[in-house]
Amino acid sequence: MSDVGTGENLLFLTDEQLRQGIEAMFFAYRGFTADPDRILTGMAYGRAHHRAIHFINRAPGTTVNNLLILLGVTKQSLNRVLRTLIEDGLVESRVGVSDKRERNLYLTDAGQELERKLSDAQRARMRAAYRAAGPQAVAGFRQVLEAMMDPEMRRKYHALRESGA
Amino acid sequence: MSDVGTGENLLFLTDEQLRQGIEAMFFAYRGFTADPDRILTGMAYGRAHHRAIHFINRAPGTTVNNLLILLGVTKQSLNRVLRTLIEDGLVESRVGVSDKRERNLYLTDAGQELERKLSDAQRARMRAAYRAAGPQAVAGFRQVLEAMMDPEMRRKYHALRESGA
DNA sequence: CAGCTTATGTCAGTCTTATTGACTTTCCAA
DNA sequence: TTGGAAAGTCAATAAGACTGACATAAGCTG
């Protein structure tokens, strides 16, 4: 397509190339969040609820503290979101088994239903992009994204893959 | 690394693979914005100011309306940001030449200085990620991101490349 | 057991970014 | 000349985040 990374091109790290990468991230992230955002508009929920639901689904039984770190928000901020989800019967909070101070979080059936609805939309876009770009491009995509993460988040990302795979 | 896209693997579009892509986007975007956010903390500016500065630098002389569409925000929202940047002498607003209703936006020297400071940080991370992943991965990264954009934003993205290259 | 620490929850106040709606001024163009 | 477009502004509102302070329950350690 362009001259980016055609083989051994040593100039692929010019400022211009990097700026284009920055803009690509910006515009792509807009697309990435657009579909679930549209679904959530009209419901009483926003992107923060989506994120909480996603990770509770992904790591069932996770504690509040773990979710806090995963999402990179404060306790107070998460609590507001979590409270409404629990009140609305989408999330269940069970007292920890080994440590009764902890709360283990699970999606209820209704929670799982919303999760599927949201992730269906997001995965459809992801799937279309993956198909259009091809397997080799997907591998590169994942490599660059991973290299862009903060080390701590990269660990969290890998931990999810191990439990979820 | 993993089994993602090793050649002709036809199963690379499983839900699990797509979920991992979604999470990779989430965590990577956090890293992507972390450095400029850190710099802006303490200044009177936020991420919205960064975005405005970025695109004014990228497309000098752009109109308010064009910037609106580029950033995907409302006039009122942009105006608040733009006003402070103009008041603080980082952005200059000149009456349009051919159409006097329009305002053409430019960075002042001070504006360019801040732009460089912010983009240096962001590009450094981008550069490190590109280096770690290699040219071929970068090409794939760009392909997938582009496929993920809404068509209208893809056009805007290309328009920037033409003017900026 | 006493005291420290951890995990969670909550209240109050603030900030940034964004929204919708209404209205004005300026000015281009049919 | 009149309609509509570009920009700017005011007001009210919302989501999502923050800090700081405080409370409760429960685990851990001496």
Tell me: the pLDDT tens digits for A93-117?
999 999 999 999 999 999 999 999 9
**Cβ-proximal residues to B61 (8 Å cutoff; 6+ apart), any chain:** B104, B105, B106
pLDDT at residue A44, as a whole number:
87
Pairing of strands A91-95, A103-107: antiparallel
Q: Over 80: is that where the pLDDT of B35 sits? A: yes
Provide, as residue numbers in chain A, all residues whose Cβ is less than 8 Å from the Cβ of B29.
25, 29
Provide, as residue numbers in chain B, all residues whose Cβ is less than 8 Å from the Cβ of A23.
58, 157, 160
Helices (H), A41-102: 47-58, 64-71, 75-87
Rounded to the nearest 10°, the torsion over CA A84, A36, B79, B164 is 150
Tell me the C-alpha distance between B103 and B90, whole Å.
Answer: 15
Q: Over 70: is that where the pLDDT of B11 sits? A: no
Q: In a mutagenesis test of the A interface, which of B120, B144, B152, B155 is the best target, namely the one with the most A β-carbons within 10 Å?
A: B144
pLDDT at residue B159, as a whole number:
94
pLDDT band at B4 (very low <50, low <70, confident <90, very high): very low
* Rounded average pLDDT over B99-122: 97
For the segment A40-72, what is each residue's pLDDT rounded down to a tens digit? 987 889 999 999 999 999 999 999 999 999 999
Mean pLDDT for all residues in chain B: 92
Which residue in chain B has the smallest CA separation from A4? B139
Q: Over 50: is that where the pLDDT of B147 sits? A: yes
Nearest to A160 by CA among A85, A70, A38: A70
% of chain B with per-residue pLDDT over 70: 92
| B4, amino acid identity | V
Say yes or no: A165 contacts chain B, CB-CB below 8 A. yes
Cα→Cα distances B117→A60, B123, B129, B142, Å: 42, 10, 19, 24
Q: Are A55 and A62 in contact (CB under 8 A)?
A: yes
Do residue B130 and residue A18 have CB atoms under 8 angstroms apart? yes
Nearest to B131 by CA among A58, A97, A83, A12: A12
Provide, as residue numbers in chain A, all residues whose Cβ is less than 8 Å from the Cβ of B137.
5, 139-141, 143-144
Do residue B143 and residue A128 have CB atoms under 8 angstroms apart? no
Q: Are A56 and A62 in contact (CB under 8 A)?
A: yes
Domain locations along chain B:
15-133
CATH of B15-133, one of 1.10.10.10, 3.10.450.230, 2.40.50.140, 1.10.1200.10: 1.10.10.10
Q: How far is A34 from chain B (nearest CA, A)?
A: 9
> Which nucleotides in chain C lie closer than 7 A to a protein CB?
6-13, 16-22, 26-29
